Structure 1
């Protein structure tokens, strides 16, 4: 897998983002929706995320394998001058057929490297409780710093905690992501 930071957002790439996002949700990923979804459900949210990249508010890290978009995340601005020293990672996605390949860890390490080049002190992300992904992020150095009980209603009677995780970039020097073949 190779990475592109803020790739040119062609119409084709925009549709690939929608397709990846749809596939990830339908594959069980917790990236803002609950399965099942179709591209039309995801497209407005994807368009808003891409508009923030177009506008320079957010950054996009895209992972490609053989020209195919297989991983993606957004480094989102906080919109407040007192928070300019850190960013939020959003919509961390790996194509369902590439999960457990090391691509998730690779794109997260790439995000850490990008954050360092931006001069950031920390990264934050949130996790939907009940998915078990907080363990994945903990292995990458993130620690749980907060939890909002029942903040996410994924279905009637199924409220999940929103788990806030934090990576202090001042405390460590993480290695840059390894490039995976493809």
Structure 2
């Protein structure tokens, strides 16, 4: 099975609900996408609405990966930088692959599709992304061509006594 990636898909109720269910499954499987398990759809829905509002107002773009049946199994958002001196790069966030489909190369496919999408954006020269330490995510992103360019020790508190590093990764596109 392969995933078909669509940049700037129509955000239909099926796409919206697919992203919500993906985010729920990823978080509850221990994924580092802004929440700590356990969560419900109601916990995630406000964050998704904020992100889809950014897509609607043009400050962010959406990439969705679907299987042959149309199920949303991967996503990534690219946010434009509003600071006039930093408009030459975008920030990737809420980068997810369904936990039941990890280890099949979909994460690499997603990262390649995000880079291709960013290359198609006028004036964009790089992608930055942040990841939570303690899970080895920085090694995965490094294997996709990203370089670690910053680390703030203990900046992410997932629970009392469980602080993780906030790691910044960077991918030049040219």
Within 5 Å, which residues of 2 pair with 1:1-182? 1-66=3-68, 67-119=70-122, 120-170=124-174
How far is 1:8 from its partner?
Answer: 0.7
Match for residue 176 of structure 1?
none
How far is 1:12 from its partner?
Answer: 2.2
Q: TM-score, normalised by structure 2?
A: 0.95
Instruction: Could you tell me which runs of 5 or more consecutive residues in structure 2 were left unpaired when the two chains were aligned.
Output: none
In the TM superposition, structure 1's runs of 4+ consecutive aligned residues that sit over 6 Å from their partners are none
Instruction: Could you tell me which runs of 5 or more consecutive residues in structure 1 were left unpaired when the two chains were aligned.
Output: 171-182
**Greater Cα shift, 7-16 or 160-169:** 7-16
Residue aligned with 1:82, SS: coil
Q: Distance in 2 between matches of 1:32 and 1:78?
A: 20
Q: Distance in 1 between matches of 2:82 and 2:158?
A: 27
Q: Distance in 1 between matches of 2:100 and 2:170?
A: 28
Q: How many residues align?
A: 170
Aligned-residue CA RMSD (Å): 0.8
Instruction: Determine which structure has greater relative contact order: mean sequence separation of CA pairs < 8 Å that are 6+ residues apart, divided by chain length.
Output: 1
Q: TM-score, normalised by structure 1?
A: 0.91
Q: Distance in 1 between matches of 2:160 and 2:144?
A: 33
